[in-house]
Amino acid sequence: MHDTGTAPPPAPAATPGRHDSKHARRFGLPIATCLVIGNIIGGGIFLLPASVAPYGTIALVAFVVLTVGAIALALVFGRLAHRHPQTGGPYVYAREAFGDFAGFLAAWSYWITTWVSNAALAVAAVGYLDVLLPIHGSTFWTIVAALACQWLPALANLAGTRYVGAVQLVSTVLKFAPLLLVAVGGLFFFQSDNLGPFRASGDSAIGAVSASAAILLFSYLGVESASVSAGEVRDPQRNVGRATVLGTGLAALLYLLCTVSVFGTVPHDRLVNSTAPFSDAVNAMFGGTWGGTAVAVAALVSMVGALNGWTLLSAQTPYAAAKDGLFPKAFLRKRRGVPTFGVLVAVSLASLLTIYNYTSGSAAVFNTLVLVTTFTATVPYLLATAAQIYFLLSGQGERVHTSRLVRDLVLALVAFGFSMWLVGGAGYAAVYQGVLFLFVGVLVYAWMAARKKRAAIAEAP
């Protein structure tokens, strides 16, 4: 099962056999695009306008700057996926460029990010569910609700890629409907008097942009979604790049329109203190108080869709690494196009972390872990963009057309800079603790590499 060549072979789901059934279906461009959109847009969008409002409308400048960086990163992933259309995404690129150790670090850090983020998404989803079904008074029912938010998407994954794609498509459509209502409808109720000052914080222009950008930075995590699942995408050399750029662009456009609409419909002095800016915007547009319920439903749909996509990604990277002997062989177990063992391990770890969060009496440890994932998520980005720079500068002609050299190099450098900005935005504490997580991974790598070496010696004539 191990591959010792320069690049892993195409994922087994792409070939006829026991994994290819009526339940395993490869994603086309629409589903791959929905996977990217669904994983980028989780629940944070429903709080973003209020989060950046204290800095004034200059926050929109930060949006534009970040969007340029995110699109550059998306384009780089598209270029890399064209030459390496295998499941694993950043892991595949880092390993091809820099060897097993770099590939393992990309896989390890990305794996940590996925299951800890899934726990965080489930906890946030329960907060919106509480608007519809008040359960905050019962720790037991709160835990049950949070676990249900994790296990229902996991069951959809275990049912096969056909159902993962269906859930992703439906949740993205249902998510877009209310968001578009605010994004487009809000423009008809837009009042410039509500915008407030351009710089509301008193900081310099650069300081205000940087401060608001630090809040917005992680809204774009997920641009790699299609490349990580490239082995399950039809014609990945063509569709992964298109889905990545299209999904990132649509998510960015929706972010920007929603923020502008909320800025223009909710008075600035009220927005800075709002805990439900979309509810306030809908109430301002149409009157009444039904906005809170509508936003709660939209947020739940958004988060379940994100959990559905992230659950798949939580199993894909370990699966790719396991093929090369860098993760335990158990992660190779695949059924109906989905790495089932990886899904079960990720959802189980996320469930344990969720239960601990609610029973420990303090969310401090949980919040710290969530903050660390903002660093671990960027490690694969840095390694992948560095891999692209390496391919370009090493003159590997089979990977880069000479006529595109300068353009691709500029894109790679912008994407690398964007990834470094993400690391800086994570903060000193998150980077420090995130590095400790990576060092734990070094011990795991030593163990797996030793096993791989022993196996190679045993097989030698």
- In the chain (461 residues long), the average pLDDT of successive 10-residue segments reads 36 39 60 77 75 84 86 86 78 90 92 87 79 75 88 82 67 74 84 80 76 74 74 73 84 86 87 78 78 76 81 85 88 82 92 84 65 83 91 68 76 88 78 87 90 80 67
pLDDT for the residue numbered 286: 79
pLDDT for the residue numbered 23: 47
b or e along 123-156 (b: 16 or more beta carbons within 10 Å of the residue's beta carbon)? bbbbbbbebeeebeeeeeebbebbbebbbebbeb
Structural tokens at position 124: 């946030």
Q: Calculate ∠ Cα 445-449-450, nearest 5°.
A: 120
pLDDT for the residue numbered 401: 58
Q: How many CA atoms lie within 13 A of 165 on its CB side?
A: 22
Q: Where are the alpha helices (DSSP H) in 8-138?
A: 29-40, 48-52, 59-83, 90-98, 100-132
| E strand or H helix at 229 | none
pLDDT for the residue numbered 385: 92
pLDDT for the residue numbered 17: 37
pLDDT for the residue numbered 10: 39
Unique residue bearing structure tokens 């629409």: 30
pLDDT for the residue numbered 1: 35
Residue pair 396/88 in contact by the 8 Å Cβ criterion: no
* Amino acid, single-letter form, for residue 305: G
pLDDT for the residue numbered 280: 81
The pTM of the whole model exceeds 0.85 = no
pLDDT for the residue numbered 101: 93
Structural tokens at position 437: 């997580």
pLDDT for the residue numbered 2: 34
pLDDT for the residue numbered 165: 65
